[in-house]
Amino acid sequence: MTEAHLDEVVRIEALSFYEPWSHACVQSSLNKDGCFVALDSAGAVVGYVIFSYIFDEGELLRIAVHPLHKRKGIASLLIRQILNIAKARKIKHWFLEVRASNSPAIRLYEKFGFTVMGRRKSYYKGPHGKEDAITMHLNGN
């Protein structure tokens, strides 16, 4: 991901999340976290992933695919990419949080071997009030 992709990423954020990250928030991640985009053949952003890492721990902070491009394996491609980087950087543990109702994302993570670690009560705001977060872990090596 580069500065040139930010507007498109923020547009996909707005289409994908109840509490989307602002332009400033994605930009700040670009300066300090790992950020990758998936591009179509015309160079348009169709998906992205944002993760942070410190020592041997990584956290998947954000992943989204444009609604018109879902179920084409794009998120899987992005996750494979960060897991490859993880091996090179010797990241041993991956963590993430996901809304308890987000079964597409939970299935995606399970497909890559993430397992449920715990639950944070009423962690997210949602259209129907508060919602729990599921925390997940993957042993990266």
Rounded (10°) CA dihedral 87, 70, 45, 35? -30
Binding mask 20-59 for ligand COA (x = CB under 6 A): ----------------------------------------
CB of 141 to ligand COA, least distance (A): 22
**Rounded Cα–Cα distance for residues 132 and 49 (Å):** 22
Q: How far apart are CA 95 and CA 133, in angstroms?
A: 13
Q: Which of residues 58-117 bind ligand COA (CB under 6 A)?
A: 62-65, 70-76, 98, 102-105, 107-108, 111
Nearer to ligand COA, 103 or 115 (CB): 103
* Pairing state between β 57-65 and 129-139: unpaired
Contact between 16 and ligand COA per CB under 6 A: yes
Instruction: Name the DSSP letter for residue 5.
Output: G
Contact residues for ligand COA, defined by CB under 6 A: 16, 62-65, 70-76, 98, 102-105, 107-108, 111
